[in-house]
Structure 1
Amino acid sequence: MSDVIATPAIARVPVAGSADTFPVHRIYCVGRNYVEHAIEMGHTGREAPFFFLKPADAVLPVRAGEVGQMHYPGLTRNLHHEMELVVAIGRGGRHIPAAQALSHVWGYAAGLDMTRRDLQNEMKKQGRPWCIGKGFEESAPIGPIVPADQAPGVLDAVIELRVNGQVRQSSRTSKLIWSVAEVIEHLSSAWTLAPGDLIFTGTPEGVGAVVPGDLLVGRIEGLPELQVRIIE
């Protein structure tokens, strides 16, 4: 028995300081996981965490010191940036308690959850799934993954995004409503986590639109910078 088409390529993310790569299985994203972002999106309080997925091939890997190029996607006139701490799962499992969750983490990276906000908002109004706003090609730019033992302070680090040199988002990863450990606990009660999974943990306040020509520079203390240029 053989495949009737060529085997699709596996999305891979560079590993910091190495020629190795991290193969991607699934991409989970946490919605509204910083208080001030929840407020700017019209919500308040510590609601139960909720999740959405992006396809693995939404990954746009960017090596340290390089500038990734993201094509401005079709159908939208309101492409938004969302700067996030990304967790790379190295050991899978189901019903993982928060107290053990960090032992399942292989490493951390800086990432962007790029969003076609106009399409997402329209789907919300109609009560329809908003995959079209989140799960498109190149919608998950990500920098090199740093092994967890080499990023000891990443859970209380400055997270920042500049667009054309101007600060748009600035907060600390410790301000997550649901911590990385709690997110893993909740996620693993709904899905069986697997090695290769990426978790985008949520974005701080300050999300906004970008256009072709803009340079996005994301920074999380202890991790390589993520640089992305929006192109036509």
Structure 2
Amino acid sequence: MAEKKMSESESLELIQNMIQTARDEHNDNGLGWRVWGWVLFVASFGTYLSMEFRWKGSYWLWNLALPVGIVLMVLSALRKRTHKKNLTYAQDLLDRIGIGFFASLLSMIAGINIYFAYTTDPGDIDFWGFFYILYAFWMYIHGSALKFRPLIIGAVLNWLAGILMFRVSDMKYEMLIGAIAILLGYLVPGYLLFLQSKKRRS
């Protein structure tokens, strides 16, 4: 038996329902944005402080992001596997994009560490801007899918921060720019989502 062809209005309604369902499911309290926001903010601002006050080492906080990221990815995958049957198509798509984002992020961190571990002449390589451009991509996709403006604004701020980092030659100030971008792009939207979820529950 042939399937009934959906009208244009029915298709649009289905898409809107999928987006709204994903928004309700995924945007409950902004926990992911707050957790990752604090990890990245501490790494960025901590590196800035270590360079400003000449503390020993400057990359170790960023290296912590690798094991933390792996643990968070495993925990997230286990949680999604438990609730897999209840996922909508839109939610599943967002989750898959998220896996791609975090895998790309961790691959960049691992690749940079391997490069510096094995090269004899690293030279002056400025790679920090790429991280923030990648963060912005994830924020924009997520904010657009969920129609949450603070995340879209955060994406724009992180794109600008990433571009600016290629113009700033001092890594110390790159880290300060990055910390501000993460504060406004991850943490502020994350806490706005938290407040929004509290209002819905009350």
TM-score normalised by the chain length of structure 2: 0.27
Q: Which has the larger radius of gyration?
A: 2
Give the TM-score normalised by structure 1: 0.25
